[in-house]
């Protein structure tokens, strides 16, 4: 834990949450994206519209859901629709400002893998697979990705492209006619990477407090580009930390269950 009293995961979640502008319509994956989106809703972005792929639209959970379709998501939603509807009318319908995804592997063009490590037919690790991610990545107007930064995750070549980012860079995403503009930031526990405006290669544009550029470079399997004007992420405020920890504490109590 850094000496100033917050963990790297907390910094990552806070940095991700800050990327969400108030009022944005967010299609949120489970795990870190869900934590960040709910933190945003509970701090600077109270009017953010959260949508989970279970068909819960405008949901306002008091604790983080363990699954994508926990009961509280339905109870606190403005509308609950079927799966064909959420994917056709809402995601494909072009109504999502921000898709928010996690990943097991990511490459330099922000393509992600959540399917297999190793060969598809003889995988060393069989991951859960695509879920809603390919179409979230393709159809949301903008995509954020959050995952922990290390060489097993930030790889030179994906074993499987589950969800398209900037494909092979440059204008290759537009050429493949993915509707949205793709990932605009990758938020890790070390810093923030954004695609180069022209090549679309992920570039380190911010490091979190106490993190060296070298550490981020070493945690990346490809030669990581670093922005000339490198920022240092603002550390979490007291409020951000308090709200996040309170959220996790409430969540832990709620998920203890009764088994």
Using CB under 8 A as the binding rule, the residues of this chain from 39 to 78 that contact another protein are 49, 53-58, 65-71, 73-75, 78
Using CB under 8 A as the binding rule, the residues of this chain from 103 to 122 that contact another protein are 111, 115, 120, 122
* Phi/psi at 246 (5° precision): -65, -40
Nearer to another protein, 1 or 259 (CB): 259
Using CB under 8 A as the binding rule, the residues of this chain from 4 to 33 that contact another protein are 25, 30-31
Only segment of 5-13, 91-99, 149-157, 237-245 that touches another protein (CB under 8 A): 91-99
Q: 54, 60 in Cβ contact below 8 A? A: no
Q: Please indicate whether residue 174 is annotated as part of the active site.
A: no
* Phi/psi at 255 (5° precision): -85, -5
Q: Does 87 bind another protein (CB under 8 A)?
A: yes
Nearer to another protein, 74 or 227 (CB): 74
Nearer to another protein, 137 or 155 (CB): 137
> Using CA atoms, how far apart are residues 50 and 57, in angstroms rounded to an integer?
6
Only segment of 140-148, 160-168, 188-196, 200-208 that touches another protein (CB under 8 A): 160-168
Q: 116, 105 in Cβ contact below 8 A? A: no
Angle at 146 between CA 142 and CA 151, to 5 degrees: 125
Q: Does 249 bind another protein (CB under 8 A)?
A: no
> Using CA atoms, how far apart are residues 79 and 142, in angstroms rounded to an integer?
23
Nearer to another protein, 25 or 186 (CB): 25
> Using CA atoms, how far apart are residues 107 and 204, in angstroms rounded to an integer?
13
Instruction: Tell me what percent of the chain is helix, strand and coil, each rounded to the nearest 5.
Output: 25, 20, 50
Q: Does 170 bind another protein (CB under 8 A)?
A: no
User: Minimum CB separation from another protein for residue 106, in Å?
Assistant: 14
Looking at 53, 135, 201, 240, which residue is catalytic? 53
Using CB under 8 A as the binding rule, the residues of this chain from 179 to 208 that contact another protein are 179
- Cβ of 4: how many Cβ atoms within 10 Å? 10
Could you give the residue numbers annotated as active site?
53
């Amino acid at each position: 834990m850094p000496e100033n009293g917050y963990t790297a995961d907390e910094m990552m979640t806070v940095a991700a949450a800050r990327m969400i502008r108030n009022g944005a319509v967010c299609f949120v994956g489970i795990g870190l994206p869900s934590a960040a989106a709910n933190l945003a809703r509970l701090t600077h972005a109270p009017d953010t519209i959260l949508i989970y792929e279970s068909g819960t639209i405008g949901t306002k959970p008091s604790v983080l859901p363990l699954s994508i379709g926990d009961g509280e998501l339905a109870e606190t939603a403005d509308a609950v629709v079927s799966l064909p509807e959420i994917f056709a009318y809402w995601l494909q319908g072009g109504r999502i400002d921000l898709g928010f995804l996690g990943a097991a592997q990511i490459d330099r063009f922000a393509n992600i893998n959540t399917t297999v490590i190793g060969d598809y037919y003889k995988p060393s690790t069989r991951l859960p697979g695509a879920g809603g991610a390919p179409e979230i990545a393709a159809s949301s107007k903008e995509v954020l990705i959050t995952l922990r930064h290390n060489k097993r995750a930030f790889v030179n070549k994906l074993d499987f492209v589950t969800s398209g980012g900037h494909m092979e860079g440059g204008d290759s995403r537009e050429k493949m006619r993915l509707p949205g503009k793709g990932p605009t930031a990758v938020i890790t526990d070390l810093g923030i990477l954004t695609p180069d405006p022209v090549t679309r290669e992920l570039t380190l544009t911010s490091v979190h407090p106490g993190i060296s550029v070298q550490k981020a470079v070493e945690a990346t399997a490809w030669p990581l580009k670093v922005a000339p004007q490198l920022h240092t992420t603002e550390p979490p405020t007291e409020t951000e930390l308090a709200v996040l920890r309170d959220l996790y504490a409430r969540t832990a109590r709620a998920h203890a269950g009764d088994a």
